[in-house]
Chain A
Amino acid sequence: MIELDRAGRSFKVRRSLVHAVRDLSFTIAPGEFVGYLGPNGAGKSTTIKMLCGILTPTSGTVRVAGLEPSRRRTTLARRIGVVFGQRTTLWWDLPLADSFELIRHLYKVDRNTFRTRLDELTTTLDLGSFIRTPVRQLSLGQRMRGDLAAALLHAPDVLVLDEPTIGLDVVSKAGIRDFLKRLNAERGTTVLLTTHDLGDIERLCRRVMLIDHGQLAFDGTLGDLMATAPDQSDIEEVVSRLYTGSGTA
């Protein structure tokens, strides 16, 4: 479903070349639920933006659902759902319901299918109480649920989430996690999720990838991850050791 082959992206910053992502290769099969970890500035967001076609890779190839994102961006958009935790993809001044209606037109979802999906999402994400409220007035938890619904109205095969639980309280986090778990289990949606919250990883992800300094530092199951430091039982410790380990390498 997602394939990267020696993909890289560099930026010119004051005449010197900075490699945000370098020689990154991995494959994600349909139906997988993958956690994507890395310290700040490691290249997580750059990877995600290459997957959506927002950024064009400067080397290597990227394929998502068989398409090259930067060339087939608008075609791919119908098959991929994207959520940025730090900023909403909804329209700030419009009520949530109007945002959804716009999305229906942008994605050309027919009216009946849209109604069915929206009803379902309204129930599972519990949107009913604030669907008429302008997005700017929503709480962070409400907004995130709205963003999730917006990313799923066109029933994408792949869902990419960039820090979806950032800043949420315990209850909201649990709700989002349950929802994602069911989405992956029942509909078989492939999910790639970046996070700094290792609770997300422990509860959701069968597979973990860790990126540091733009390169893959670890790729395996949660069990493999824990096995890299047999003397530790706390995932926070294990991961921070991996960060510092690759950081000094």
Chain B
Amino acid sequence: MVSLYARLAWTWTRAAAAYPASFALMTVLGIITTTLDVAVILIVFANTTTLAGFSRDEVLFLYGAAGVSFALCDLLVSNIDRVSQHIKAGTFDTFLIRPVSSWLQLTTDRFNPNRLGRVLQAVLVLGYAVAVLDLEGRRLWMIPVMVVTGFVIFAALWTLVGAAQFLLTDAPELGNAFTYGGQQLTQYPLAVYARDLVKGVTYVLPMAFVNWQPGLYVLGRDDPFGTPEFMRFLGPAAALALVLAAGLAWRQGIRHYRSTGS
């Protein structure tokens, strides 16, 4: 499956490489757009030393970790949110006549390598934060785990939103509240949000496990909302549960697909 993914992605990359100037421009602009969010964090901390009890470098750490997860998902999976576009254009049928899972075909469809720039930007921010924060060595193993967990959670979330488009063909932008909303939510320590909202994104939609819970472990801090220590390690389980839900939703979506035309 991975090799097939790479093969499909490579074909689109080659197609994109036919227009090198446009490719370079879009890569740079992608980096600039995401850097705006960093600029906002820096401006906020030009006015204060702590935000909800977190320092600038701690916030950059949380931002960077979620940023890498999100940018990887944006690069590798986010094309799944074009379901309704394909249904409306009548091109969705094509994915269903191939001997490969429709999910794999959709995520690679028009694979866009210039989003790699955003991954790079987030890696730099994360790298900076890890370098300047005085982190305990025995906690560092969690960083790769949280980045992968975060990626899987975002990917599952994206798939759920894609699956929902089989029903909500005319309102695909409703899903943005969850996908891009999830991105925005995870850019800051959850300590800034209200308790009920944080409960929701911990126990219902497990966005808290993208960077918040495991991040608290890496930073060696207690949860201001007082959740117990073992919650820091539940990320992979939460991701797995969300993946199962997304897989089921996707299958149901395909079964309820009603094609178009006569």
Residues of A that sit less than 8 Å from B by CB: 11, 40-42, 44-46, 49, 52-56, 70, 73-75, 77-78, 80, 82, 84, 86-87, 89, 93-94, 98, 101-102, 105-108, 154
Contacts and interface: CB of A to CB of B under 8 A. Distances in A.
Contacts of A52: 96-97
A44 B262 CA distance: 7
B99 interface: yes
Contacts of B94: 87, 89
Contacts of A44: 262
Interface string B86-111: 00001101101111110001000010
A77 B262 contact: no
B258 interface: yes
Interface stretch (B7-15, B150-158, B170-178): B7-15
A154 B99 CA distance: 11
A57 to B, nearest CB: 11
Contacts of B110: 93
Contacts of A82: 97
A55 B257 contact: yes
Q: Which of A70, A73, A108 has the most CB of B within 10 A?
A: A73
A52 B7 CA distance: 25
26 contacts: A42-B262, A44-B262, A45-B259, A45-B262, A46-B259, A46-B262, A49-B93, A53-B96, A54-B93, A54-B259, A75-B99, A77-B99, A78-B99, A86-B261, A87-B90, A89-B93, A93-B15, A98-B11, A98-B15, A101-B11, A102-B11, A106-B4, A106-B98, A106-B99, A106-B100, A154-B99
A44 B257 CA distance: 18
Contacts of A40: 262
B138 interface: no
Interface in B1-39: 4, 7-8, 11, 14-15
B15 A94 contact: yes
Interface in B111-154: none
Nearest to B6: A105
A78 B100 CA distance: 9
A73 B101 CA distance: 9
Q: Which of A40, A70, A102 has the most CB of B within 10 A?
A: A102
B255 interface: yes
Which 5 pairs show the lowest CB-CB distances between chains A and B?
A77-B99, A54-B96, A89-B94, A82-B97, A78-B99
Interface in B75-92: 90-91
Contact of A73 (B96, B259, B261): B96
A86 B93 CA distance: 12
Contacts of A93: 15, 110
B101 A74 contact: yes
A105 B101 contact: no
A45 to B, nearest CB: 5
Contacts of A94: 11, 15
B220 to A, nearest CB: 47
A37 to B, nearest CB: 13
